[in-house]
Amino acid sequence: MHKIIEYEQLINNEIKGTYQLIDVRSPSEHKAETIPGSINLPLLDDEERTRVGTVYVNESADKAKKLGIEIVSKKLPDLYSKIIDLSNQYDNLIFFCYRGGLRSKVLVSLLDSLGIRAFKLNGGYKRYRKYVIKALPEIVKKVNFVVIHGNTGTGKTQILKILNQKSMDVLDLEGCANHRGSFFGSIGLGKQNTQKMFESLIYESLSKSKSSIVFVEGESRRIGRNIIPKCIFQKMWEGTHIKVESDLDIRVNNIINDYVNANNEELIKSLNFLKSTLGIKNIERYADMIRKFEYEDVVRELMIKYYDPLYKRENIDFAATFNSNNPEEAACQIIKWSKDNLKGWH
C-alpha cells in the first residue's frame, strides 16, 4: 500500500525531517502552475502525454494505460537514478500529479517496494489549489500592509528587496507575477506567470510572514495579465500608505538600468500599448530614438508626459513621505518610522 500525505501536514510541520515535493506531470503542466518549491520529474514529456491522451479519447482507457506503461518503462533506470540522488538529499520525497491519480500512485508504489521513503500527495495539485483558494482570504486577515507608493523609477522595488534583506516581511507582487507592472513590465523577464501560479506565490509569501506588518508596493489591481485577488487588494487599501520621492535624473537612470539590457525591438514592441494615449507619430518617434540608443531622452519624456500625470491622479492620504535617492537609506528610514508608528511588530 503506497503512503499518502496531506498538504496540511506539510504546512503544520507534521512530517519528520526534510522533504522535497516532486511534480511528475509533463513539463508544460508544471510550467503553467505547480506547487512553489517543487521540482519537475516528468513521467511523460509533452509529446508523449499528447499521444497517450489521443489513444485514451480515440480508442480506450486500457490502451492508453498500456502505451503509458510502455513509454515510462523505458525511462525507469534514469528516473530511478535521479530519485536515488534526491533521496540522498532529503528524508522524504513527496510526489504529485494533477489529481493524485495514476501517475503518482504507480510511481510511489514502485519506490515503496524498493525501500525508498516516498509519499503520494493526496489529491495532487488540484487539491493544493483548492487549499490555496480557501486559505488566502484567511491568512490575509492577519496582515497589516504598509503600501509603498511613488512615481516610476523611484526605486520602490529596490526598497522592497532591501527591506527583505533586513528581515522585514515583504510581499513582492511583481515578483509573484514575473511582471514589473508597467507597459515595459515583462521585458527581459520571460513569460509571465499564470493567475494560478501568481496566487500560489502570494500565499506562499504571506504564509512565511513573521509579523503582521508586511511591506508591499502600491499597484493597480492588474499586473500585466494577472489580477491581484480581491481579498489582497482590499486589504492593501485598508493598510498604511507611504510615499517615496526621487530626483528625475535618478529615476531616469533607474529605469535605464532595469530595461536597457533588453533587445531594442522588444522595447519598441512594448510601446504599442501607448498608441491610443500618445498617438502613432509619437510612438514611431520613440521607436526611432530607441534604435539610435537615445534611451535617456525617451525615458525622460515618457515620465514627464505619461507616467507622472498618471500618479498625480492618485487621491491617497499618505502617512509619511521619504526621499529615495538612496534606496538603502530610504529603507532604513521606513523601518524606523514603521516601528515607531505602527502596531503589529513581534
What pLDDT is stored for residue 339 in this prediction? Answer: 92
What pLDDT is stored for residue 310 in this prediction? Answer: 78
Same domain, 210 and 117: no
Same domain, 189 and 244: yes
Same domain, 115 and 150: no
Reported as a pLDDT band with limits 50, 70 and 90, residue 326 is very high
> Mean pLDDT over residues 208-221, rounded?
92
Say if residues 28 and 143 touch (Cβ distance below 8 Å): no
Q: What is the CATH number of the domain that holds 165?
A: 3.40.50
Is 346 a member of any domain?
A: no
Reported as a pLDDT band with limits 50, 70 and 90, residue 106 is confident
Domain range spanning residue 322?
143-341
Same domain, 115 and 13: yes
pLDDT over threshold 80, residue 220: yes
> Mean pLDDT over residues 243-271, rounded?
84
> Mean pLDDT over residues 265-273, rounded?
79
Contacts 24+ apart (CB under 8 A), 100-108: 100/124, 100/126, 100/127, 102/65, 102/68, 103/24, 103/25, 103/43, 103/44, 104/24, 105/2, 107/24, 107/43, 107/79, 108/2, 108/3
Same domain, 209 and 168: yes
What pLDDT is stored for residue 341 in this prediction? Answer: 92
Is 62 a member of any domain?
A: yes
pLDDT over threshold 90, residue 88: yes
Reported as a pLDDT band with limits 50, 70 and 90, residue 262 is low
What pLDDT is stored for residue 183 in this prediction? Answer: 58
155 contact partners, CB below 8 Å, separation of at least 6: 244, 246, 250, 254, 324, 327, 330
Active-site residue list: 97
> Mean pLDDT over residues 61-65, rounded?
88
Is 137 a member of any domain?
A: no
pLDDT digits (tens, 9 = 90+) for 3-58: 899 999 998 888 888 999 999 999 999 999 999 999 999 999 999 999 999 998 89
Same domain, 124 and 147: no
- Domain count across the chain: 2
